[in-house]
C-alpha cells in the first residue's frame, strides 16, 4: 500500500468515525462503541477492497458483506455513504421513524446491504450460505462478514464455523472485532469465549491475528485470505472499543449509549483534531 492510499484511508476512517458519532447523537440512541472499534475494517473493505457498484447495488457479480453484529449499523451506514450508495446527509436521519436507516440493517430498504441482521449469530450463518451459493454457481465473488466477540457466545456461530470449514468455503473471509467488551462488561466475565484463535483453528479455519486499527495489517491479512485455498479465513482483529473518542475507549458503557450535547462536542473536537493532524502530514 503506497503512502497516498494509506493516508486517504486514515482520513476516511476519521470521517466515518465522525459520521458514527453524528448518527447516534442525532438519534439519541444507537451503538457507538463497536462501530468505532470496527471502523478500519469497514473503511478498508468498502473503500478499497470490495468489488462493488453503488449505481447497481444488487449487481450479481458484486462481493458480499454481512454485518453479523447488526447493532453496529452506524459504522456500516457511514461506510456505505462514503462509498456512494446513498447521500451522506441521510445519515442524520438514523433511527428516525421516517428514515430508511433504522437501528439494524435492512436489505429491503438500504442500498448496499446484502442481509438484514440483528439477532446475533444469524449473520455469519447467512454469509456461509452466500459463500456456498457462490461455489455451487461457480461465481468468483467473495463474501465478507464481521462478527463481535460477544456475539460468538452464540452457539449458532459455531455451527456456521463447522459448516464453512466442512464445505471448504475459501471464498469466505470473516473478521472478528476482538475488543474484549460487550454490553454487560468484559467478555471474559460474561461468557468467556477465549482463546478465540485456538478455537477458530480447532474448527479448521485459517486464522490470522492482527491489529484491527492498522490498514497495512488488514490488507496483508485479506491478501493472505485470498491466497488460502480449501478453507475459510477468520481475521481476528485486536481492537479498542470506542476507538478515536477518548472517553469512550475501552468503556463497556458506550456499547449502546448516545453522547449528550457536551459529550458530542468533545467527540467532534477530538475527531476534527485527528483529521487536522492527517491533513498537515
What integer is the mean pLDDT of 11-22? 98
- Could you report the per-residue pLDDT of 99-146, keeping only the tens digit for each? 999 999 999 999 999 999 999 999 999 999 999 999 999 999 999 999
Average of per-residue pLDDT values in the chain:
98
**Architecture (CATH level 2) of domain 3-279:** 3-Layer(aba) Sandwich (3.40)
**Would you state the pLDDT for residue 41?**
98
- Could you report the per-residue pLDDT of 244-281, keeping only the tens digit for each? 999 999 999 999 999 999 999 999 999 999 999 999 97
Spatial strand order in the sheet of 143-148: 64-67, 143-148, 172-178, 233-238, 206-211
Q: Which of 172, 153, 200, 181 is nearest to 248 (CA)?
A: 181
Label residues 226-238 b or e (16+ Cβ within 10 Å = b).
eeeeebbbbbbbb
Label residues 84-112 b or e (16+ Cβ within 10 Å = b).
bbbeeebbebbbeeebebbbbbbbeebbb
Instruction: Give the pairing of strands 185-186 and 206-211.
Output: unpaired
Q: What does pTM read for this prediction?
A: 0.97
- Could you report the per-residue pLDDT of 224-246, keeping only the tens digit for each? 999 999 999 999 999 999 999 99
- Answer for the pair 235, 224: CB distance below 8 angstroms, yes or no: no
- Answer for the pair 203, 161: CB distance below 8 angstroms, yes or no: yes
**Would you state the pLDDT for residue 213?**
98
What integer is the mean pLDDT of 46-56? 98
**Would you state the pLDDT for residue 73?**
98
* Side-chain half-sphere exposure of 57, counting CA atoms within 13 A: 16
What integer is the mean pLDDT of 24-45? 98
* Side-chain half-sphere exposure of 126, counting CA atoms within 13 A: 22
Which residues, 6 or more positions from 205, have their beta carbon under 8 angstroms from its beta carbon? Answer: 161, 164, 165, 231, 232, 233, 234
Amino acid at each position: 500500500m503506497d503512502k497516498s492510499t494509506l493516508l486517504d484511508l486514515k482520513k476516511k476512517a476519521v470521517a466515518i468515525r465522525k459520521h458514527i458519532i453524528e448518527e447516534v447523537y442525532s438519534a439519541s440512541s444507537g451503538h457507538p462503541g463497536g462501530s468505532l472499534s470496527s471502523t478500519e475494517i469497514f473503511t478498508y473493505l468498502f473503500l478499497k477492497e470490495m468489488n462493488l457498484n453503488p449505481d447497481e447495488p444488487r449487481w450479481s457479480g458484486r462481493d458480499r458483506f454481512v454485518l453479523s453484529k447488526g447493532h453496529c449499523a452506524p459504522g456500516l451506514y457511514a461506510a456505505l455513504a462514503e462509498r456512494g450508495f446513498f447521500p451522506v446527509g441521510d445519515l442524520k436521519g438514523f433511527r428516525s421513524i421516517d428514515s430508511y436507516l433504522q437501528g439494524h440493517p435492512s436489505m429491503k430498504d438500504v442500498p448496499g446491504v446484502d442481509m438484514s441482521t440483528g439477532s446475533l449469530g444469524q449473520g455469519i450463518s447467512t454469509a456461509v450460505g452466500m459463500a456456498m451459493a457462490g461455489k455451487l454457481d461457480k461465481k468468483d465473488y467473495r463474501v465478507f462478514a464481521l462478527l463481535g466477540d460477544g456475539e460468538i457466545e452464540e452457539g449458532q456461530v459455531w455451527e456456521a464455523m463447522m459448516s464453512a470449514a466442512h464445505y471448504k468455503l475459501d471464498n469466505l473471509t470473516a473478521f472478528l472485532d476482538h475488543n474484549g467488551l460487550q454490553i454487560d462488561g468484559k467478555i471474559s466475565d460474561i461468557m468467556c469465549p477465549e482463546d478465540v484463535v485456538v478455537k477458530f483453528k480447532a474448527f479448521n479455519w485459517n486464522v490470522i491475528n492482527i491489529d484491527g486499527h492498522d490498514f497495512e495489517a488488514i490488507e496483508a491479512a485479506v491478501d493472505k485470505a485470498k491466497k488460502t485455498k480449501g478453507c475459510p479465513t477468520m481475521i481476528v482483529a485486536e481492537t479498542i472499543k470506542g476507538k478515536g473518542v477518548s472517553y469512550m475507549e475501552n468503556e463497556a458503557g458506550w456499547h449502546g449509549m448516545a453522547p449528550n450535547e457536551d459529550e458530542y462536542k468533545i467527540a467532534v473536537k477530538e475527531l476534527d483534531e485527528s483529521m487536522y493532524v492527517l491533513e498537515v502530514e
